Structure formats: C-alpha cells, structure tokens
Chains A and B, each alone.
Chain A
Amino acid sequence: MARLRLATVWLGGCSGCHMSFLDLDEFLMDLADRVDVVYSPVVDAKEYPEGVDLVLVEGAVANEDNLAMIRRVRERTRILVSFGDCAVTGNVTALRNPIGGSDGVLRRSFVEQTDRDPQIPFAPGVLPVLLDRVTPVHSVVSVDLYLPGCPPPAPRIRAVLEQLLDGRPARLAGREIKFG
C-alpha cells in the first residue's frame, strides 16, 4: 500500500496541539513506518505540496497568511482535520473578537497597554496583517473531521489517525468530542 502523505499546519494557535501530537510517543514510530510527513513545523519543507492525503490543522484563521495558507491547504489536501479548539471554535485566539476589528485590537495591545513608546507595528511583507475577525477553520474552508480539545489529548489524536490510516471513515466516539 502506498504510504500516506501526512501534513500538519500551524495557524493562529499556541502550538500546544502539536506538542500533544508529539505526546503520541512510541506511536510516532509506527506512524513513521506508515506515512511520509510532507509538510509540518517539525519538518523542513518550505512550500505546502500538492497531493496531500491528510492534514491536521492547528489554530484559528487570524491573519492574511493564515487565510492564504488554509485555502492552499484545502485545495491540495484530500482529508482536512480541524485539530484542536482554536481550529474548531476559535478558542483563545478568538478572544480578541469582541474588542472589535484589528485596529482596536492593535491599539489595545500596543498603545493602551504600553507605558513607553506606544506604536502600532507596521512592517509590510514581514508581519502578516491581522484579520478583523478571527474565525474557526470551517468558516473559511470545508472541514472533514473535527478533533476538539485544548489541546486534544494524545490518545484522541491517535484514535483519529489509526482510523484514517486503516482507510476507515474516522469518527470520535462519546466523550472524545469534549471542548476544553
């Protein structure tokens, strides 16, 4: 059987979901036997490639880079998993939304909360521009499976991966869908 082309993507999140992924411990060895990790923060690939079978997307869509990335990911991937509460609900990344658009958020963080040299960072081409509103992944592109949790516990990640590696339609049973 052809090896499954696996990717993981880090949008607006804290990387805690990726840490939980690394908590798969010895299952990572089994995984390495069965998949090629073609794109991830833990491998050295600059471009998200074509023809990806499965992607775990951590984080909410918070800035223009996230937005361009998630669209590219959706185009080039067969099965997209919304990985963790930020991807699924917006979670902590979306806490800024009630403050208002990106101007209000930047002013709150870099002007109102600062006691010296208040200034709003502006570096075109270096810093991605914040979106006015942080959204969960499924409000931008279609999602095939939701894997909630902050972070999702490693056994929950493993359950999903094992089902998908066996070519079964994955679903999380019972308590495994709990937010938080």
Chain B
Amino acid sequence: MSVHTLRIDEKDVSARAGQTILEAASENGISIPTLCHLEGLSNVGACRLCLVEVAVVGGGTRLAAACVTAAAEEMVIQTDTDRLREYRKMIVELLFAERNHVCSVCVANNHCELQEMAVSQGVDHVRYDYLEPRCDVDLSHPRFGLDHNRCILCTRCVRACDEVEGAHTWDVSGRGTLSRVVTDLNAPWGASETCTSCGKCVMACPTGALFHQSSTVSEMIHERTRLSFLVDAREKKQWHA
C-alpha cells in the first residue's frame, strides 16, 4: 500500500493512499473542527468548518475542506491560522443566523454540537442579521420529531438513513435558504412508507432538529457513537465497547 508523506502544522506525517487530510491529521493527534462529519458515515464537506490552508506551488495557499480532500505527497497544510479561525467563526455565526436556534429552550441544550462549536470557535455573539425564517415542526411520527428551526443541513440524517440503515427515507429538497430535509417525497414523517423507525437519524443529528418526542429542554442526548459501532461491527466484525 502506498504511503504519502506530507506536512501538517509543521509536523511530518504519513497518510495511506486514499486517506483524507482530516484522517491523516486525526491519526497524528492534530484536531480539526468538524460538524457535518460523523464517524461511520461518508463525508460530504457540507459545513466547511474543516477548511484548511494548502500551500500551492509558486506561493500562497488555497482553502480545502479536510474531510473531502485526499492527502497527497508533499502537501503542506496549515489547520489553525488567523484566516481559518476567522472563517470558522463566520461559518458558525451564519449557521446561527440562518435558522432559529434558541439554545435556552432547546431539547439539545448542553448536548448540542453547534452550541459547543460556538464555544470552541469563540462565538460570543452573531454579527449578521438573523434571517428568522418561518419553519415547520413535523410531529407526525409517533416516536420522533423534526424541528426545521434547529436544522443546519449537515445531512447526517440523510447519510445515516441511506448508508447505515439502507432505507434512504431522508433527502434534501429546495435550494439555498429554502433547503429542507424531507422524508420520502416530502410526505409527513409519520406517513413515510420507507422509514423503519430505527432512530439512526436521531442518533446522528448534531443539534435538536431531530429528537425523541416528549423530550423537553436539555433532555435530548443523541447517541452519535452508536453509528460507528454498527459500521465497525458490520464491516470489520469488531464489537467494541
């Protein structure tokens, strides 16, 4: 198996062929912030928080999403520059501005990856005007709920349902700020003929957008590592604790 040698944050690291920058960094103890990435699922580069700077021949750098960019021979990468820190902060602020995220009354308060990301990226207020779109809440499923106010369109639910459960109940409809995750062909979740009610989408959700019905403020604790448990069990025959 071929191995590439590259530099990440002034450190020489090696990456196996086909590994992404994110994987190479992670194996070498270099932490890059991520939000749409989830162990056990494919990567789509939706949130852009894992942006890194890759040096280009002749000087300067280009931005690349570490989760979907293959590590290559002699790459020189910076993961934590002033420019990246500012962009990541902007991304988190724009996520807050795009929907109606009200941490204090959210089912996922204190268990939310967006809320945590704001803390880690130094977001103490949002510089942009809130869009405040009118968003629906789908409570038609007997066990689960969907609140579009809290969705960041990471598509973890879409991928978990497609790749791990194999049902592909979820997808994304619309464009731009009108994009919404949908079940079946935008049927109410409770009327979905493909949903197996397995709950993997709820496990995967980084925010309070997908939740167990009857959970109230701060009660929704997602079991996000269950998905990588299932994938490792299926693909590697490893049942880790």
Which residue numbers of A lie inside 8 Å of B, CB to CB? Answer: 82, 85, 88-92, 94-95, 97-99, 133, 136, 138-139, 143, 146, 148, 150, 172, 174-175, 177-180
Bound Cα distance A66, B55 (Å): 50
- Are B100 and A179 in contact (CB-based, < 8 A)? no
Minimum CB–CB distance for B155 against chain A, Å:
23
Show 28 residue pairs from A and B whose CB-CB distance is below 8 angstroms, ordered by the A residue: A85-B103, A85-B104, A88-B124, A89-B125, A90-B130, A91-B102, A92-B102, A92-B105, A94-B130, A95-B105, A97-B132, A99-B134, A143-B125, A146-B124, A148-B124, A150-B103, A150-B104, A172-B124, A177-B118, A177-B122, A177-B124, A178-B118, A178-B119, A179-B103, A179-B115, A180-B103, A180-B104, A180-B106
Which among A88, A90, A180 has the highest number of chain B CB atoms within 10 Å? A180
Closest 5 CB pairs of A and B: A180-B103, A150-B104, A177-B124, A146-B124, A179-B103
Bound Cα distance A104, B119 (Å): 35
With contacts A88-B124, A136-B125, A146-B125 taken as known, whether A179 is within 8 angstroms of B104 at the C-beta atoms is yes
Interface residues on B, range: 20 to 34
Bound Cα distance A92, B106 (Å): 11
Q: Is B228 an interface residue (CB 8 A)?
A: no
Residue-wise, chain B 77-112 has the 8 Å CB interface mask toward A (1 for contact) of: 000000000000000000010001011111001100
Q: Is B133 an interface residue (CB 8 A)?
A: yes
Minimum CB–CB distance for A13 against chain B, Å:
11
For window 3-31 of chain B, which residues contact chain A by CB distance below 8 Å?
Answer: none
Bound Cα distance A174, B120 (Å): 7
Bound Cα distance A172, B124 (Å): 9
Bound Cα distance A94, B135 (Å): 15
Bound Cα distance A175, B122 (Å): 9
- Are B135 and A98 in contact (CB-based, < 8 A)? yes
